[in-house]
Amino acid sequence: MKITILPGDGIGPEVCKHAVSVLAEVASAFEIYIEADEHLIGGAAIRATGSPFPEETEAACVASDAVLLGAVGSPEFDHLLPESRPEMGLLKLRKALGGFANLRPAAAVDALIDSSPLRREIFEGTDLLIVRELLGGLYFGGPRGFSSDGEEAFNTMRYTVDEIERVAHVAFTSAQGRRRKLTSVDKANVLETSRLWRETVTKIAEEYPDVELEHLFVDACAMHLVTDPTRFDVILTENLFGDILSDEAAVLTGSLGMLPSATIGGAVDLYEPVHGSAPEIAGKNIANPLGAIASVAMLLRYTAKNEQAALAVEDAIKAILNEGYRTIDIAETGCRMVVSTADMGTLVASRAIEHANVKYAYHAV
């Protein structure tokens, strides 16, 4: 399995380093062949080449089975036009890989229940998956730009039936493997694109009679995420709404640093933690690497097709948290087991090997 590593900016290189270490250890235990190389993206690429997504990086990515990304973005480049900033490298990467379905899980972890901004009785038991359409909508629709006098700006939200159908199939299939409930989120009372979205999803639902479908307006969904998050199983929505709702859901867990994501459906899968580059803490060895490490678990599940290897990583994360270890972003007041980025990565890698050895021994019998 060929993997391209894109550490990126800010805390990206720190968290990527430990995610790759865990991947290497677990892949070895499960006899999964990994060939990995590293390339530039974002601000790091601008400094070296002048482009946020160099041709060399693109060529390496499209020739891979999967890409593992750290984070992209730096205030150093805020003066540049949007098309020249580090974030454009991420948009170009997504388009080059062709992945149209972004999967973002958010679940209550028993050891961190009290880290959530929600009361225990509201958040406990939450386990949801947001499926975000990633290649359409306002981020990619045209025309877009500024008027000649700079006094007006415009973007175009656009979707086709085919774009909606393909991501809906991913969401319904995901729901079949979970609790068989799908919530489709739109703004059909205002937007024509949302009316097409609702009509198309309703039609696709006929192919999945075992999955319960409900429709919610995006504002209602945002409200229910903070008042009754356990009502959700799989949430399906378009690009802009998915961007906002998935960040909202991530915060409910107590820290953006905890959560992974996977982008699938194209020729090459993309895995990345939900958090950003967090330049204010870069280089301080305090960033939470668990989101990046959990992204490795998703890589093992969706690209390597090895559920046992994925569970070995996820079980290791849970074990370390249950033992009381915390990075500063998830540490309770008075916590005595606050560890650095490096220490957390080493701890998870160690436990992952223990779990991998047990599961591999069982698997090999």
* Residues carrying an active site annotation: 139, 187, 219, 243, 247
Q: Using DSSP bridges, classify how beta strands 153-154 and 66-71 pair: parallel, antiparallel or unpaired.
A: unpaired
Among the listed residues 233, 219, 223, the one whose alpha carbon sits nearest the alpha carbon of residue 126? 233
CB atoms within 10 A of CB 214: 11
End-to-end Cα spacing for the chain: 25
Burial class (CB in 10 A: 0-12, 13-18, 19+), 186: buried
The SS3 assignment for 282 reads coil
Looking up tokens 């388009």, which residue turns up?
A: 95
Directed axis angle between helix 192-205 and helix 161-176, to 10°? 50
**Which helix (H) or strand (E) is 89 found in, with range?**
helix 86-97
Q: By the 8 A CB rule, do 341 and 13 touch?
A: no
Ranges assigned E (strand) in the chain: 2-8, 35-38, 66-71, 101-107, 127-133, 145-146, 153-154, 181-186, 212-217, 234-237, 260-264, 269-273
CA distance 204 to 316: 38
Q: Which two tokens stand for residue 296?
A: 């490795």
